[in-house]
Structure 1
Amino acid sequence: MSRVTTVVRELRPDDSLPSEATELGRLGLFLACLTVASAASYWVALRLRGVPIVGTLASPNVAGLAVPTLVYARYRGVSLSFGPPERSRLGDAAATALAPALAVIAASVLFAVGFDASLAALLGWTYHPEASVATAAVRTAEDAALTGLGFGILVAAVFDLASSRVGLSSARAVATTAALATFFHSVLRDAAFTLVAFPKPWRVSVVSLLLVATVCGCVAAGVTYRGVVERSIRPLSRPTLAPAFAFGLFAVAALGTVFADVPGGVEHALWALAFGVAALGFGRSKSAWVPAATMALFSLSIRLVGFVELALL
């Protein structure tokens, strides 16, 4: 009889969401709002293109990413440090900043030697045939720096919230940060920018569905995590959570579709690696400049490596 009672208690739904689900749901809602802010900033940037005085301020990586993330971090009580890393962590910081760029070079060599193909061709990069490496570096340096600033701050804020509010260990916080940042960059942001550049009614529906799926997927992930930690099905037994899991599966499928595309999937995999390394660097240094430098060097390297490949052909 006691066993039957235990099983019934396990199957009895709980009326409250686990803390992990609540905090991850808030992160999902933040990413959804950040997508709207990035799209609005991108729209402004398109309308103001050619006006140098507002170029940096109108950048989606600043107005639509860095600033909203800082505002949200302040609202949640997250204090991001922009001081330099401690001297004992300078070596780790340098290794973190260089690792994704070295990964891009390694991928370029691998494709050239193993598949007789260039990374630039796979990613669709093209350059003016008479441009020099210095010219390409100068033209991409500003965008790479702004990209690094925006995504570096995002990585720092998400990692801090995942570790301090969700209660994840350092390794799990790194994995969570990489997954959420990759989903935002490769799914949400790309879909929103495409909607701004090519507005279609069906694209509005797709983006709206993705935003809902982001929040629901984060809630479902938090509930699942609590069930795994407790080794119990009780957190998963609420019938009202069925829509959250359904939309969560849609979000997972959307992310899987991004990686399933062989040419584009390579770039998204490199971005995921860069986000993970940046999160690891921030976890060790506690300086927001480390993930910012990591993402900036990665963004610059992925373009310059492609330029060098095309120049050598």
Structure 2
Amino acid sequence: MNCEADSDLSRDAVASLVSSLTTVARELRSDRSLPSEATEVGRLGLFLACLAVASAVSYWVALRLRGVPIVGALSSPNVSGLAIPTLAYASYRGVSLPFGPPERSRLADALATALAPGLAVVATSALLAVGFDASYAALVGWTYHPEASVATAAVRAAEDAALAGLGFGLLVAVVFDLGSSRVGLSPARAVAATAALVTFFRSVLRDAAFTLVVFPKPWRVATVSLLLVATVCGCVAAGVTYRSAVERSLRPVSRPALAPLFAFGLLGLVAFGTVFAEFPGGVEHLLRALAFGVAAFGYARAESVWVPAAALALFSISVRLVGFVELAAF
């Protein structure tokens, strides 16, 4: 009886989520009274919410296809749950992604972008060891077999890092392009917004979706559903706030009808803040936000999708190899 009740609660929560997202999507499409910035950022939030659901589904499939050649890689959350949906959304929104290599005059920017996040991981590892007598490996929870070699660790990490770099590199490029071209953000603001949105997706939405797959409790379904709705509402509220700041007027944010959006947005903001609140755990999320920001900056400078993809892939490899060296040394 308890199992049936839990199942009914899960179905009700999923149905409520679908209904809420559909309502928000319809309002974004039909409400012409919203500022254009709010509509565009809200659409980005809706995309990230849907991407979290796609990531959860692909993760569920990947757990059942683990070890299957080719098919297992394609079912990876970084491919079927991230790269492919991001490419589909870019095509739907008319975003033309530059897949060519960076021009020769921009190779220095591309190289600096690719290396900076990994160097930040190395610097953080040294700082933690000297200043706090801690290791980055313990911080992120990486462990290896005592007899594993550096080559073995690198080979095992290479596939995951490459797929993660590709998926998140595409996401960074699409969010940056939409922020600069559709919302009208300056390059610097678009970089900051991209870092914030992609970090929120990676550290809050996707982690919550993955946890739901592993522990499918009814209260978790309700929590994740609420978080997804808060994401969309928070993005709309951020767009309205941005318009208010541009106009230097409280008129855009003073409408009583927007109060629920700001209330849900505050919930999403609190969830985002909690991932940085803990020390030393928040250091990992700060480094990830830095990596996404550098990737967005490099994409803007080099105008090639492969630049953020390489930067984030090397960042992922650096995290694992630095952890391996720490464990081997200490």
- Alignment partner, residue 214 of structure 2: 197
**Which one-letter code corresponds to 2:159 in the other structure?**
E
Q: Cα distance 1:64–1:237, how it changes in 2: closer, same or farther (>3 A)?
A: same
Q: Report deviation, 1:15.
A: 7.3
**Aligned-partner SS, 2:169:** helix
Q: Which amino acid aligns with 2:250?
A: I
The answer for the alignment partner of 1:228 in structure 2 is 245
| Alpha-carbon separation, structure 2, partners of 1:122 and 1:178 | 21
**1:74 and 2:81 aligned:** no
Which AA in structure 2 matches 1:204?
V
Residues of 2 paired with 1:264 and 1:36: CA distance?
25
* 1:210–1:251 CA contact under 8 A, matched in 2: yes
The one-letter amino acid of 2:203's match is S
Does residue 266 (structure 1) correspond to residue 283 (structure 2)? The answer is yes
Shift of 1:53: 3.2
Counterpart of 1:10 in structure 2 is none
Matches within 5 A, 1:1-313: 16-313=33-330
Cα distance in 2 between the residues matched to 1:192 and 1:231: 38
Q: CA deviation at 1:125?
A: 1.1
Moved over 2 A (4+): none
What is the TM-score normalised by the length of structure 1?
0.95
Measure the CA separation in 1 of the matches of 2:315 and 2:251.
Answer: 43
Q: For residue 122 of structure 2, what is the amino acid of its counterpart?
A: I
Sequence identity of aligned pairs in percent? 80
Counting matched residue pairs gives 300
Residue 123 of structure 1 contacts residue 263 of structure 1 at CA under 8 Å; is this kept in 2? Answer: no
* Deviation string, structure 1 residues 52-104 (Cα, Å, up to 9, x no partner): 23111111000000000000000000010110001010000000000000000
Task: Give the deviation of 1:128 after TM superposition.
Answer: 0.4
Counterpart CA distance in 2 for 1:150 and 1:236 is: 35
Q: CA deviation at 1:124?
A: 1.4
Point out where structure 2 has 5 or more consecutive residues left out of the alignment: 1-30
CA distance in 2, matches of 1:212, 1:45: 26
Query: RMSD of the TM alignment (CA)?
Result: 1.0
Structure 1 gap ranges (5+): 1-13
Tell me how far apart the structure 2 counterparts of residues 227 and 56 of structure 1 sit (CA, whole Å). Answer: 45
Output the TM-score relative to the length of structure 2.
Answer: 0.90
